[in-house]
Amino acid sequence: MPLQTIDKGAIVRWLTACADSIAANREYLTKLDAAIGDGDHGVNMDRGFKAVVVKLSAGAEMDIPQLMKSAGMTLISTVGGASGPLYGTFFLQAAQVCAGKAELTLADWIAMLKAAMNGIMARGKASAGDKTMLDALAPAVQALEDAAAQVHSTAGALALSACAAKAGMSATEPLVARKGRASYLGERSAGHLDPGAASMYLLLKAAAETLASR
């Protein structure tokens, strides 16, 4: 199966699907966060992505980099706590990588996610294993790179990425948090999924479901 490019329409569908998935899982994310955080992750993320969708409808002429930048700036201004700046960084770093591109290849998507991951690591001073969103994102990036090396289709690579993100999210349950509000609990943070890893998985799952479709 040939590799497939990702166009602007696919990015719009992805961002819309992200908002839909976050909204559908709002209470789930809030429940996860109530166990080890402030209990507002679902509410905050839902508010942020609803605002992203509003900006989409008002910016029909935006290209892919502008869509990414708009999403990042909107999340920074509307999502409370640490998640706003971190998810904002995700999209702003991605926007820089895809500057000037009307369509994205699988290699472009990998480069965008790697830049997003590095940006989050720098801003949050965290790494995989710290019980954060990086525990879903880092294995997803690795899965994409492995799939690309084996010349998988874009759809196949995105599906493998989502599977890796889900496994990474699940693997946060026994971890002791080393960053964020959850780290204040010490050993008591073990036994709970990380809400940031859960929301990151939802975004990457939405990518697998939308980005390779026309």
Mean pLDDT of the 116-128 span: 93
pLDDT in tens, 12-56: 999 999 999 999 999 999 999 999 888 899 999 999 999 999 999
Please tell me the pTM assigned to this model: 0.94
Judged against a pLDDT cut of 90, whether residue 127 lies above it is answered with no
Query: Dihedral, CA atoms, 78, 80, 86, 91, nearest 10 degrees?
Result: -10
Domain residues for the domain of 34 are 6-210
Q: Is residue 82 in some structural domain?
A: yes
Q: Among 59-63, 108-112, 210-214, which range has the highest average pLDDT? A: 108-112
* pLDDT surpassing 50 at residue 72: yes
If one counts the domains in the chain, the total is 1
Select the more confidently predicted residue: 195 or 80. 195
Q: Higher-confidence residue: 114 or 61?
A: 114
Bridge partners for 7 per DSSP? 103
Q: What is the mean pLDDT of the chain?
A: 92
In-domain check, residue 22: yes
128 φ/ψ angles, rounded to the nearest 5 degrees: -60, 140
Neighbours of 30 (CB within 10 A): 20
Using pLDDT thresholds of 50, 70 and 90, give the confidence band for residue 3.
low
Rounded CA-CA distance 134/196 in Å is: 8
CATH number where 140 lies: 1.25.40.340
pLDDT at 178: 80
Q: What is the pLDDT of residues 176-205, one digit of tens each?
A: 788 777 877 778 779 899 999 999 999 999
Whether 165 maps to a domain, the answer reads yes
Average pLDDT over residues 109-136: 94
Residue 2 has pLDDT above 60, yes or no: no
1 assigned to some structural domain: no
